[in-house]
Chain A
Amino acid sequence: MSLSSASQKNAQPARLEPRLRRAVTYSPWDYVWVAPAAAFVLFFTFYAAVFAVRISFYNYSLASPVRPFVGFSNYIQLWHDPDYWHAMGLSFLFAAVDVPLTIFIGFVLALMLDQPLPGRSIFRSVLLLPWVISMVIAGYMLKWIFADSTGILNYFLTEIGLDRVRWLSTGWAAFSTVVIAHGWKVYPFGMVILLAGLQGVPRDLYEAAEMDGANAFQRLLTITIPYLMPQFLILFILRTLIAFNMVDIIFAMTEGGPGNATEFVSYFMYQRAFGYLDLGYATAIAVTILLVNIVLSLVYLRVLRNRTG
Chain B
Amino acid sequence: MHMLLLRPSEPHGSRHEKRFRLAWTLIALLVLAISACVPAAPGAGGEGTGDSAAPVTLRVQTSIDLYAENANAGVLAMRAAHEKFLADNPHITIEFEILPAFDLYTQYLVAAEGANAPDITYQGAANTYTLARSGNILELNSYMENHPFLNPENLQSAILAVETVEGNYYGIPTTTDARLLYFRKDLFAEAGLDPEQPPTTREELIEYAQTLTKDTNGDGTIDQWGYGFMADNTLHTPHMWLTHVWAGGGDLVDAEGRAIYDSEAGIAAAQFYYDLVNTYAVSPVEVIATDYDASVRALVAGQYAMAVLGSWSWPVDILGALSEDQIGWARIPPPQGGQDATFSGGWSWMISKQSEHPDEAWAYIEALNGEEVALELGKLNIPTRQSILTHPDIQNTFVAEAGVYAAAAAHGNPQVIATQALFDGIRQALQDIIQGNADPAEAIQKAAADFNAQYAGQ
Chain A positions near chain B (C-beta within 8 angstroms): 61-65, 77, 81, 83, 147-150, 166-171, 174, 254-260, 271, 274-277
State whether A148 touches B130 (Cβ < 8 A).
no
Q: Which residue of B lies closest to A270 (CB)?
A: B106
Of A63, A167, A271, the contact of B134 (CB 8 Å cutoff): A63
Interface: B133 (CB within 8 A)? yes
State whether B288 touches A169 (Cβ < 8 A).
yes
Interface: B80 (CB within 8 A)? no
Interface: B154 (CB within 8 A)? no
State whether B286 touches A149 (Cβ < 8 A).
yes
Of B112, B289, B432, the contact of A148 (CB 8 Å cutoff): B289
Interface: B421 (CB within 8 A)? yes
Q: Give the docked Cα–Cα distance between A150 and B417 (Å).
A: 37
Give the chain A neighbours of B286 by CB distance below 8 A: 148-149, 166, 169
Q: Give the docked Cα–Cα distance between A258 and B133 (Å).
A: 31
Residue tally, chain B, CB below 8 Å to A: 37
Of A65, A258, A260, A277, the contact of B135 (CB 8 Å cutoff): A65
Give the chain B neighbours of A274 by CB distance below 8 A: 106, 110
State whether A169 touches B133 (Cβ < 8 A).
no
State whether B135 touches A169 (Cβ < 8 A).
no
Interface: B151 (CB within 8 A)? no
State whether B233 touches A62 (Cβ < 8 A).
no
State whether A63 touches B130 (Cβ < 8 A).
yes
State whether A276 touches B418 (Cβ < 8 A).
yes
Give the chain B neighbours of A168 by CB distance below 8 A: 289
Q: Can you list 25 A-B contacts (CB < 8 A)?
A: A63-B130, A64-B133, A65-B134, A65-B135, A147-B289, A148-B289, A149-B298, A150-B294, A150-B297, A167-B289, A169-B287, A169-B289, A174-B289, A257-B233, A257-B289, A258-B432, A258-B435, A259-B432, A259-B435, A259-B437, A271-B424, A274-B110, A276-B418, A276-B420, A277-B109
Within 8 A of A (CB), among B127-147: 130-131, 133-135
Give the chain B neighbours of A83 by CB distance below 8 A: 450
Q: Known A-B contacts: A62-B134, A258-B432. Give 18 more (CB < 8 A).
A: A62-B112, A62-B113, A64-B133, A65-B135, A148-B289, A166-B286, A169-B289, A169-B435, A170-B435, A171-B435, A174-B289, A257-B233, A257-B428, A258-B233, A258-B289, A259-B437, A271-B424, A276-B418
One digit per residue, 1 when the CB lies within 8 angstroms of any chain A CB and 0 when it does not, for chain B 410-427 equals 000000011011001001
Interface: B251 (CB within 8 A)? no
Q: Give the docked Cα–Cα distance between A255 and B106 (Å).
A: 15
Q: Give the docked Cα–Cα distance between A161 and B310 (Å).
A: 37
Q: Give the docked Cα–Cα distance between A149 and B224 (Å).
A: 13
Give the chain B neighbours of A171 by CB distance below 8 A: 435, 437
Q: Which residue of A lies closest to B422 (CB)?
A: A276
Give the chain B neighbours of A275 by CB distance below 8 A: 106, 420-421, 424
State whether A166 touches B289 (Cβ < 8 A).
yes
Kindly list the 6 A-B residue pairs having the minimum CB-CB distance in the complex, ordered from nearest. Answer: A169-B289, A168-B289, A255-B233, A257-B233, A63-B134, A259-B432
One digit per residue, 1 when the CB lies within 8 angstroms of any chain A CB and 0 when it does not, for chain B 101-121 equals 000001001101100000000
Chain B positions near chain A (C-beta within 8 angstroms): 106, 109-110, 112-113, 130-131, 133-135, 232-234, 284-290, 294, 297-298, 303, 417-418, 420-421, 424, 427-428, 431-432, 435, 437, 450, 454
State whether B424 touches A258 (Cβ < 8 A).
no
| A interface majority secondary structure | loop
Q: Give the docked Cα–Cα distance between A62 and B418 (Å).
A: 11
Q: Which residue of A lies closest to B418 (CB)?
A: A276
CB contact under 8 A between A149 and B290, given known A169-B285, A277-B109: yes
CB contact under 8 A between A64 and B417, given known A171-B437, A257-B233: yes
State whether B294 touches A149 (Cβ < 8 A).
yes
What is the minimal beta-carbon distance from B4 to any residue of chain A, in angstroms? 15
State whether A260 touches B428 (Cβ < 8 A).
yes
Give the chain A neighbours of B421 by CB distance below 8 A: 275-276
Give the chain A neighbours of B110 by CB distance below 8 A: 62, 274
Q: Give the docked Cα–Cα distance between A188 and B234 (Å).
A: 32
Q: Give the docked Cα–Cα distance between A250 and B134 (Å).
A: 28
Give the chain B neighbours of A170 by CB distance below 8 A: 435
CB contact under 8 A between A256 and B285, given known A64-B133, A276-B418: no
Give the chain B neighbours of A77 by CB distance below 8 A: 454
What is the minimal beta-carbon distance from B310 to any residue of chain A, in angstroms? 19
State whether A257 touches B454 (Cβ < 8 A).
no
State whether A63 touches B233 (Cβ < 8 A).
no
Q: Give the docked Cα–Cα distance between A273 and B420 (Å).
A: 11
Give the chain A neighbours of B435 by CB distance below 8 A: 169-171, 258-259
Give the chain A neighbours of B289 by CB distance below 8 A: 147-148, 166-169, 174, 257-258
State whether B427 touches A257 (Cβ < 8 A).
yes
Of B130, B284, B287, B431, the contact of A277 (CB 8 Å cutoff): B130
State whether B290 touches A259 (Cβ < 8 A).
no
Give the chain B neighbours of A147 by CB distance below 8 A: 289, 294
Q: Give the docked Cα–Cα distance between A259 and B289 (Å).
A: 11
What is the minimal beta-carbon distance from A47 to any residue of chain B, in angstroms? 15
Give the chain A neighbours of B135 by CB distance below 8 A: 64-65
What is the minimal beta-carbon distance from B296 to any residue of chain A, in angstroms? 12
Give the chain A neighbours of B450 by CB distance below 8 A: 83
Give the chain A neighbours of B285 by CB distance below 8 A: 166, 169
Q: Give the docked Cα–Cα distance between A47 and B288 (Å).
A: 42
Q: Give the docked Cα–Cα distance between A125 and B234 (Å).
A: 38
Of A148, A256, A260, the contact of B290 (CB 8 Å cutoff): A148
CB contact under 8 A between A254 and B428, given known A63-B130, A148-B290, A168-B289: no
CB contact under 8 A between A63 and B109, given known A258-B431, A259-B428: yes
Q: Which residue of B lies closest to A275 (CB)?
A: B420
State whether A257 touches B431 (Cβ < 8 A).
yes
Q: Give the docked Cα–Cα distance between A63 and B134 (Å).
A: 4
Give the chain B neighbours of A277 by CB distance below 8 A: 109, 130, 420
Give the chain B neighbours of A258 by CB distance below 8 A: 233, 288-289, 431-432, 435
Give the chain A neighbours of B133 by CB distance below 8 A: 63-64
Give the chain A neighbours of B417 by CB distance below 8 A: 61, 63-64
Give the chain B neighbours of A148 by CB distance below 8 A: 286, 289-290
Q: Which residue of B lies closest to A263 (CB)?
A: B428
Q: Give the docked Cα–Cα distance between A98 and B106 (Å).
A: 30
Q: Give the docked Cα–Cα distance between A309 and B284 (Å).
A: 57
Give the chain A neighbours of B112 by CB distance below 8 A: 62
Give the chain B neighbours of A169 by CB distance below 8 A: 285-290, 435
Q: Which residue of A lies closest to B303 (CB)?
A: A149
Q: Which residue of B lies closest to A170 (CB)?
A: B435
Q: Give the docked Cα–Cα distance between A275 and B455 (Å).
A: 14
Q: Which residue of A lies closest to B446 (CB)?
A: A82
Give the chain A neighbours of B290 by CB distance below 8 A: 148-149, 169
Q: Give the docked Cα–Cα distance between A147 and B288 (Å).
A: 11
Q: Which residue of A lies closest to B284 (CB)?
A: A149
Q: Give the docked Cα–Cα distance between A255 and B234 (Å).
A: 8
State whether B109 touches A62 (Cβ < 8 A).
yes
